[in-house]
Chains A and B, each alone.
Chain A
Amino acid sequence: MRLPQQTSEIINREKPVAFTFEGKKYQGFEGDTITSALLANGVKILGRSFKYHRPRSVLSFANHDMNVIVDDVSGQYFIPNIRADVTKVIDGMKLKAVNTFGGVENDKASILGRFSKFLPVGFYYKAFHTKALFPMWEKMFRAMTGLGNVDFKTPKIKTAKDYGFCDCLVVGAGVAGLSAALAAAENGLDVVLVDENSQIGGSINYTDIPNELIERAKAASIRILSDCYAAGYYADNWVALVHKTHMTKMRAKTVIVASGAFEQPPVFRNNDLPNIMLAGAFLRLLKLYSVKIIENAVFLVANDYGYETAKTALANGINIKAIVDLRNGDEVSGLEEFVAKNIPVYTASCIYEAVAGKDKQVERVKIHEFNDGIAGTLKAEIACDGVVMATGFAPALNLLYQANTKMRFDDALSQFIPDVLLNSVFACGKLNGNYSYETRVRDGEFAGISAANFVKNSKIKLPKALAETQKPNHPWPIIEHEHGKNFVDFDEDLQLKDFKNAVQEGFDNIELLKRYTTNGMGPSQGKHSNMNGLRILARLTGKPAQEVGTTTARPFYHPVPMKHLGGRGFSPNRVTPLHSRHGALDAVFMLAGNWQRPEYYARDGISRQNAINAEVMAVHDNVGIIDVGTLGKLEVIGPDAAEFLERVYISKYKGLKIGNCRYGVACDETGVVVDDGIIARLSDNHFYFTTTTSGAANIYRELSRLNMIWGLDCGIVNHTGSFGAINLAGPNSKAVLAKFTDLNLDDFPFLGYREALVAGVKCRIIRAGFVGELGYEIHASALEIHKIWDEFITAGATPFGVEAQRVLRLQKGHIIIGQDTDGLSTPYNAALDWALKMDKPFFVGKRSLEIIAKKPKSQVLAGFALPKDYEGAPPQECHLIIENGDIVGRITSITKSPKLGQIIGLCHIKPELAAIGSEIKIRFSNGSFVAANIVNTPFYDPENLNQKGVAK
C-alpha cells in the first residue's frame, strides 16, 4: 500500500502513470520504479527464478534483483531484460516477466522445484550425454534457458559518445563520495561525481543522516552526473561512464572509488520468498516511494544498521513481531526502545526457515538457536508478513579490482579492504570498512585531499583517520537446513548444499567453484553471492578467506547496452573523387576493401559479360579510362629517400633517373611478397609511388614504423585521399591526351614520369602499362581530377571497370598481390625474381630470401590456357589442380579473354609440373575435371610492343 505523502518521497503524486504487468492494468506515479509501482498495487509475485521458477519479489531494490526482470512490449519494438527494481515506470508500458511458462502467477516450470533433489549441482554434466539423445535434451535446455526475448524489429540505434576529462572522478555520491568530491573540489580540483541513482546522496535520502553534504555538493563547482554508472575501469584512469542516453569515456587524473557496499542476504531455508528483503530495500521503498508492504515484520539482524532500520519501521507504524540477532547477547546493545515496546529480541538466534502461505509470500518464520554458526533447537515460531534482513555487506570493489588493486581480507570486519592501490586511484567509505557517518565523512576527506595532493603535487595535510566502531558484517550469516532451498545465489538458484557438493567433487578453488556451480555468473555477477560463496568455501576447506581469495571482477559493473558501446560506429565507406561520375555512367559498384569501385558500366540491352567484353575491346582497339584513385599514393622526401626505398623494396632506386619510374615489390621479413607498385623519381630527394588498393593503409603504417626504427633522414606523405588517379589506356590514348596537354608526348617513354597541366589541372603522369596497351596514369588533386575525367569522356574514351581491368591485366600475366600470391609467396615463386636485387646490402626480407634461394621451390606461378574450342563452364579461381589424387596447385586467376577468344589463367603449381606445354587437371567443385595446358605469359603481346607504344 501507499503511505500518505511524506517529504522524503521522490514520486510525483500529481502525475499518475498507467501501465500493465502480465496483462493486468496498474497505476503508479511518476518517479516510481517498476518494482515500487507494482508493490504499491499489492502485487506479490514480480518474477520467477531462473532454474526452479520459484516466485520472487523485491530483494535488494538496488540494481541486482535478477529475478524481477521484465520485457517492455509496448513500443514499436520491445526492450528485453529491463531491471524492474531500478527502472522508472513510464506511462503506457506493457510489462511481462521474463522466462516464465504460462505467466508469473502460475509458471508451469515451477514444477522443477519439486525435482530439485534430482538436479544436483552441475547435474547437466552428469547426464543427457548419450550421443543419440543429446540433441533432444539440448533442445529442451535451450527452450528453458535465457531470460528476456530479443525483438528482431529493433532498429540499429546509434548514440553519440562523449569524451570527458577531469582532475578527479568520484564514483558514488553517497556520504563518502560526497565528502571526497567536496574535499577535492575545495582543494582546487576539477571534480566529476557520478552516481547510478537519479538523486545523489545515497542513504542520506532515506535515513536520518543530515543532508548537509548534498547541499554543499550542489553548491560547489562539482560536475554531478546522476543516473550514470561507472561501468568499467581501464588502464590509465580511462573510465566508461554510462548514461541512460549514451556513454562518456572519461580520462581522469585521479579516480576516487566510493561505490559503497552491497547488502548481503543471509542464507536460510526459503530466504527467497516474496516479502523477504534486505533492509535497504525496505527503507528505500518506505521512504523514497512511500510503499509499505509489511505490516507485521520480523527483523533478522547482525548490526546496528538492522536496529536503525527497525526503529524506522516502528516510526512508520509497522509492527515488529520479533528481532532475531545472529550475534550473542553480549555483542548487542541499545535495545531499550524495543524492550520498552515489548518487542522480543532473540539474540544468538537465527531464522532457520521461512514458511510460505497460500499467497506464496512469507507467512511465518521458525526461530532457532544459533551458536558458533550452527543452528540449534527451535525457540519460537512467529507469524509475519515480511522479513527485513541486515546481517552484513560486501564492499563494491569491482572497479578497484579492474584497477589492479591488491585486496586484504580484514578478519575483524569480515570484508576485503583495498590494500595496495595504483598511485592515482583512491578508495573511501564502506570500501575501507567505514560504516558510521563520521568515519565515512572523514575517509572521504582523506581521499579527496590525497587526490588533490597527487594532481597538484602538493602536500596538504591529511586529516587524522577516525576509528570505526561498527562491525556491520556477520562472518557467517549462513544457516544449514536438511531440506535445503537456502539460497546463496538468487540469479542462479544455488543452494548451500550445491557449494558443499561441488567442493566434495573437487571444485575447492574459488574459480573452479564459480565455474562448476555458476555462482556469480548470472546478470548480477555475484554482487550478492560472491561473499557468501567465499565464506562457504573458506569454512569447507578450513582456509582463511584471504587465501581463498576472490574471482576476477571484470567489466562491466552493470551491463551496458550495445547501442552505447557501438556508438555511431566506424565502418568507413570510401568513394573516390570520381564517384558521382561513375554513377552518372550507370556503373555497377563492387566493394574493394572499404572502397566502392565500378565493377563495370551497365549498358542497355547488353549482358554483364558483354558489357565487360566491350570495355576490354575498347581499350584494345581505341581508348579507355579507369578510375584508379583507390591506389595507395605515397611520397618519400629527404636526403635518404632513395636509401629508404631500397631498404623497403626488393629492387634498386638510387640509380633511378629523375623523370623515370620503376616497378617495386615489397616483402616482409620472411621474404613473402606483401605489396607492389610503381615508384617514380621526381628529384634527387623526392619519390612518388603507388601501393595496392588493399595494401594502402597497411603499407603506409608499416613504412612509417620502419622509418621511425631506421631513423633515416626522410619523411613519408600519404596522398591516398588527397589525389585522384585515372589510367588512360589504348592505342589512341596518346591522341586523346595530346588534346588536353602541352606536354611533349613524343619525348615520354614507357616508364617515364612527367608533370604537366592536363585540361588545366596540374598532374603527375606515369607511363605505365598494367592493362597492356599504351597508357598514361594521371594523378591529380582529388578536387580537380573530375575535370580531366570529363574531358576524356567527351573526347570519346570508354570508361572501364575493375572486371575489364582484371581481364586486361591477366592477358599480360600481371599479377595481383593477395590473389596471385598468398601467405607463402616469395619473389621466387611469384615469378618476380627478375625484380630482385640480392646484391643490395639490405632490404626487408633479404636474409630470408638468401636462405630460401638455396632451397628447391615448392610452388611456382605459371600461366595456363584451356583449349580454344572448350565450351563448358570455366573453372573458377581457387579450383584445385590434381595430379595422381594429390593437390598439386590451384588456379589463382582465370578469365575468358575476348581478344584471344580463349580461357586463360594463372595458377600456383609444383615446379615439376610447370613445364610449358604440360597438361594440368583442374577439378571443379562438383568433382569433375577439365584439362588445360601450361603456356607462356604474357598471353597477349608477349614482346610488350603495345604498352611500349611501338606496335604498328
Chain B
Amino acid sequence: MPWRLLRFGLSKKHPEPRMFDAPDALKPSYDVVIIGGGGHGLACAYYLARDFGITNVCVLEKGYIGGGNTGRNTTIIRSNYLTPEGAQFYDKSLELWQDLSTEFDLNLFYSNRGHFTLAHTDAAMRTSRWRAEVNKHYGIDSEVVGPEFVKKHAPMINLQCGHHPIMGALYHAPGSVARHDAVAWGYGRGANMRGVEIHQRTEVLGIDTKGGKVCGVKTSKGYIETTKVLSATAGSTPRILKMLDIDTPIFIHPLQAMVSEPLKPWLDTILVSGSLHIYISQSSRGELVMGASLDPYEVHSTRSTLDFPEGLSAQMLDMFPFLSEVKVMRQWAGMADMTPDFAPIMGKTRIDGFYLDAGWGTYGFKATPVSGKTMAYTIANDKPHELITAFSSERFKNYELTGEKGAASVGH
C-alpha cells in the first residue's frame, strides 16, 4: 500500500481539505469570465493562472463541474488524426496528458491501452494507411497492422465480425483512457488553489457589449464587469452565441453511450470499428464502455433512445458474440456540438474580448489539456495560439475547412 494513504488511517479527522471552494457571492468584476465549468473551461482557468499569472478569473457553471460532456464521454485519448493541423494539435494534448496526474497530485487513472481502428473494407484500409502516414510524418506512433496483430492484442475477437471480416487496423499504441470526472476536479482544484473562483449552479443570462467589445456578463447570481469572456460550453454553445448574435455552423447532435454490468477484466485495448459504427473499452471498474456514432438528427437534449442500445448491441455481438448474456446496466447521452468539418472552432470572434472554444463534437475530452493551454494563451495575448489558427471560425467564411471529417466518424 502506498505510504500516501497512511495518513488517512492515522489521523482522527479526515485529513483532506476541500478540493474547490464554494464562494457565495460573485465579485463585481473579473479580468476573465469563463462560461462553462467542464474540463475545457477549468483547464483554461488553470493555465491562465499557472502560465500567465491571471488569477482574477471566475468560472461560471450552470450545473456542477464536469457535468456536461466531460462527465459523459467515453474517455478515449488519442492523437491519430488525419490532417496535419489535427494530428499536431492532439499530439500536443497527448503530451500534456502524460504528466497531468503528477502535476495535479491526483490520480486520473491515465491508462495506456493501445487503440485499434478496425478496417473491414479495402477503403477503410486505405484511410488507415493515410492516417498512419500522416501521423508518422509528425512523429505520432501509428501504423497499419494486419488481422493477426489485432488478434494478438484482443485474442477473443471474432475476426469474421458477422459478414464484415476484419482486414486489418490502424494501431495507435499511445491510445489511452482516463477517469473523466477527475480531470475536471484536477483542473478545478489547481485553478482554485491559484485564486480562480468556481461558481457552480450559476447561469449566464446575457453578455453585454459596448462598441463591439465585451463589457459585462449577466448571471443568475448578479452582474459581472469584465472585458474578456470565454465560452466553453459544448452543447450549450448555440444558446450562448445567440446572446451575441454570432453565427457558427454548429449543430447539436446527441451522442449516446452505455455500460455493461461490471465484469472481470478481459479486454485491455480500445477497439473502434468504422464499418460497424461501434467502439468498446473496459473501465477500471470492469464495466464495458460502449458507444456508436452520433444520432443522425439535431436535438438539444440528453435523453436516451431505445434504438441506440439495440443497434449497438447487435453490432457488438458481431465482434464479440460471447457478450450475448452480458447485461447492459446504463445508457446516457451528451450533446455534441458538431461542425461541418469535424474540427473545433477556437479563438477570437468578431466581438473584441469574446473568445470561443466550441465545436468539440465527439473529440473534446482528449483535447482538454491542449485546448485549455492554447485558449489561455489566446486570451492572455489576445492572439490565437499557433496550434489553433486553423480552427478559427473564419475558416467557414473563407472556405478553408480542415479535412478531418473522413477520419472522425466513430473514432471519438
Q: Which residues in A have some Cβ–Cβ distance to B below 8 Å?
A: 50, 77, 79-81, 99, 115, 117-120, 123-131, 134-135, 138, 141-143, 145-157, 232, 234-235, 238, 240, 249, 402, 497, 500-501, 504-509, 511-512, 515-516, 521-523, 525, 552, 554-556, 559-563, 565-571, 573, 590-593, 670-671, 694, 818-819, 822-824, 848, 851-852, 855, 876-880, 887, 890, 923, 925
Contacts and interface: CB of A to CB of B under 8 A. Distances in A.
A823 B406 contact: yes
Given A147-B262, A822-B403, A562 B163 contact: no
Interface in B87-142: 98-99, 101-102, 105-112, 120-123, 126-127, 129-130, 132-134, 136-137
Nearest to A402: B304
Contacts of A569: 162, 314-315, 317-318
B71 interface: yes
A855 B266 contact: no
Contacts of A593: 121
Sorted nearest first, the 8 A-B pairs with minimum C-beta distance are A146-B286, A156-B321, A559-B327, A569-B314, A565-B313, A129-B107, A566-B313, A154-B322
29 contacts: A80-B263, A81-B262, A81-B327, A119-B8, A126-B8, A127-B5, A127-B107, A129-B102, A129-B108, A145-B264, A150-B264, A150-B266, A155-B321, A156-B317, A232-B331, A234-B305, A501-B14, A506-B20, A556-B330, A560-B328, A561-B327, A562-B324, A569-B162, A590-B122, A694-B123, A851-B399, A855-B399, A879-B133, A887-B84
Contacts, number: 306
B351 interface: no
Given A99-B264, A561-B327, A515 B8 contact: no
B316 interface: yes
Contacts of A123: 5, 8
Given A118-B9, A554-B331, A77 B129 contact: no
A514 to B, nearest CB: 10
Interface stretch (B60-68, B234-242, B382-390): B60-68
A923 B122 CA distance: 20
A880 B109 contact: no
A44 to B, nearest CB: 25
A156 B314 CA distance: 10
Contacts of A509: 64, 200-201
Contacts of A501: 14, 16
B1 interface: yes
A880 B134 contact: yes
B51 interface: no
Given A129-B101, A877-B126, A878-B129, A670 B340 contact: yes
Interface in B22-38: 22
Contact of B19 (A138, A146, A505, A925): A505
Contacts of B64: 509, 511-512
Interface in B295-318: 303-306, 309-318
A155 B324 CA distance: 7
Given A143-B265, A565-B309, 11 more contacts: A77-B325, A81-B326, A120-B16, A125-B107, A145-B286, A506-B19, A511-B64, A516-B181, A525-B329, A556-B331, A571-B162
B323 interface: yes
Contact of A561 (B6, B285, B325): B325
Contact of A153 (B286, B309, B322): B322
Contacts of B133: 878-880, 890, 923, 925
A129 B328 CA distance: 30
B148 interface: no
Interface string B3-23: 011101100001011111110
A628 B15 CA distance: 73
B1 A515 contact: no
B175 to A, nearest CB: 15
A126 B327 contact: no
B102 A81 contact: no
Contact of A148 (B264, B318, B324, B332): B264
A146 B265 contact: yes
Contact of B284 (A145, A235, A507): A145
B173 interface: no
Contacts of B266: 149-150, 152
A923 to B, nearest CB: 7
Contacts of A555: 304, 306, 309, 330-331
B2 interface: yes
Contacts of B143: 925
B182 A149 contact: no
A565 to B, nearest CB: 4
Contact of A560 (B6, B22, B122, B327): B327
Given A118-B6, A824-B403, A561 B182 contact: no
A125 B1 CA distance: 14
Contacts of B306: 232, 234, 238, 240, 249, 555
Contacts of A566: 310, 313-317, 324
Interface centre among A117, A516, A823, A925 (most CB of B within 10 A): A823
A238 B9 CA distance: 51
A146 B288 CA distance: 10
Contacts of B101: 129, 131, 134
A103 to B, nearest CB: 16
Given A118-B5, A129-B101, A671-B399, A592 B121 contact: yes
A562 B317 contact: yes
Contact of B156 (A50, A152, A573): A152
A148 B65 CA distance: 33
A147 B261 CA distance: 8
B256 to A, nearest CB: 10
Contact of B65 (A145, A146, A512): A512
A128 B331 CA distance: 30
B14 A497 contact: yes
Contacts of A508: 22
Nearest to A802: B122
A232 B123 CA distance: 38
A77 B109 CA distance: 33
Contacts of A671: 399
A109 B54 CA distance: 49
B220 to A, nearest CB: 15
B203 interface: no
B122 to A, nearest CB: 7
A556 B328 contact: yes
B405 interface: yes
Given A562-B323, A878-B129, A887-B134, A591 B164 contact: yes
Given A123-B8, A145-B262, A556-B331, A877 B20 contact: no
